[in-house]
Structure 1
Amino acid sequence: MPDVSIRPARDGDAQAIAAIYAWHVANGTATFDTEAPDTGAWAAKIADFAARGFPFLAAEREGGIVAYAYAARFRDRAAYAHTCEDSIYVAHEARGGGIGSVLLPALIEAARASGFQQMIAVIGGGEPASVALHARCGFVHAGRMRNVGSKFGRLLDTVYMQRDLREDQNP
Structure 2
Amino acid sequence: MPDLRIRPARDSDARAIQAIYDYHVAHGTASFDSTGPSAAEWLEKMAAIRSSGWPFLVAEKDSEMLAYAYAIVFRPRAAYARTCENSIYVADAARGMGVGSALLGSLIDAARASGFEQMIAVIGGGEPASVALHAKCEFFHAGRLRNVGFKFGRKLDTVYMQRDLTGEDPSA
Q: Structure 1 length normalisation: TM-score?
A: 0.96
Equivalences, count = 169
Runs of 4+ aligned structure 1 residues displaced above 3 Å come to none
1:161 matched residue in structure 2: 161
Amino acid at match of 1:134: H
Asked if the contact 1:2–1:97 (Cα under 8 Å) also holds between the matched residues in 2, the reply is no
How big is the shift at 1:3? 3.0
The answer to whether residue 50 in structure 2 is matched with residue 60 in structure 1 is: no
2:34 matched residue in structure 1: 34
Asked if the contact 1:2–1:99 (Cα under 8 Å) also holds between the matched residues in 2, the reply is no
Deviations 1:70-105 (A, max 9, x none): 000000011000000000000011111110010000
Asked if the contact 1:134–1:161 (Cα under 8 Å) also holds between the matched residues in 2, the reply is yes
- State the alpha-carbon separation in 2 of the partners of residues 155 and 58 from structure 1: 31
2:6 matched residue in structure 1: 6
- State the alpha-carbon separation in 2 of the partners of residues 36 and 103 from structure 1: 22
Amino acid at match of 2:140: V
The answer to whether residue 71 in structure 2 is matched with residue 71 in structure 1 is: yes
- State the alpha-carbon separation in 1 of the partners of residues 40 and 157 from structure 2: 30
Report the secondary structure of 1:87's partner residue.
Answer: strand
Amino acid at match of 1:128: P
How big is the shift at 1:45? 1.1
- State the alpha-carbon separation in 2 of the partners of residues 3 and 77 from structure 1: 40
- State the alpha-carbon separation in 1 of the partners of residues 167 and 88 from structure 2: 21
Asked if the contact 1:2–1:98 (Cα under 8 Å) also holds between the matched residues in 2, the reply is no
Q: Structure 2 length normalisation: TM-score?
A: 0.96
1:150 matched residue in structure 2: 150
- State the alpha-carbon separation in 2 of the partners of residues 96 and 136 from structure 1: 13
Report 1:14-163 matches (<5 A). 14-163=14-163
Deviations 1:38-96 (A, max 9, x none): 10011111111111101000001111111000000000011000000000000011111
Report the secondary structure of 1:167's partner residue.
Answer: coil
Alignment gaps of 5+ in structure 2: none
Q: CA RMSD in A?
A: 1.2
Alignment gaps of 5+ in structure 1: none
Asked if the contact 1:86–1:121 (Cα under 8 Å) also holds between the matched residues in 2, the reply is yes
Report the secondary structure of 1:147's partner residue.
Answer: strand
Report the secondary structure of 1:14's partner residue.
Answer: helix
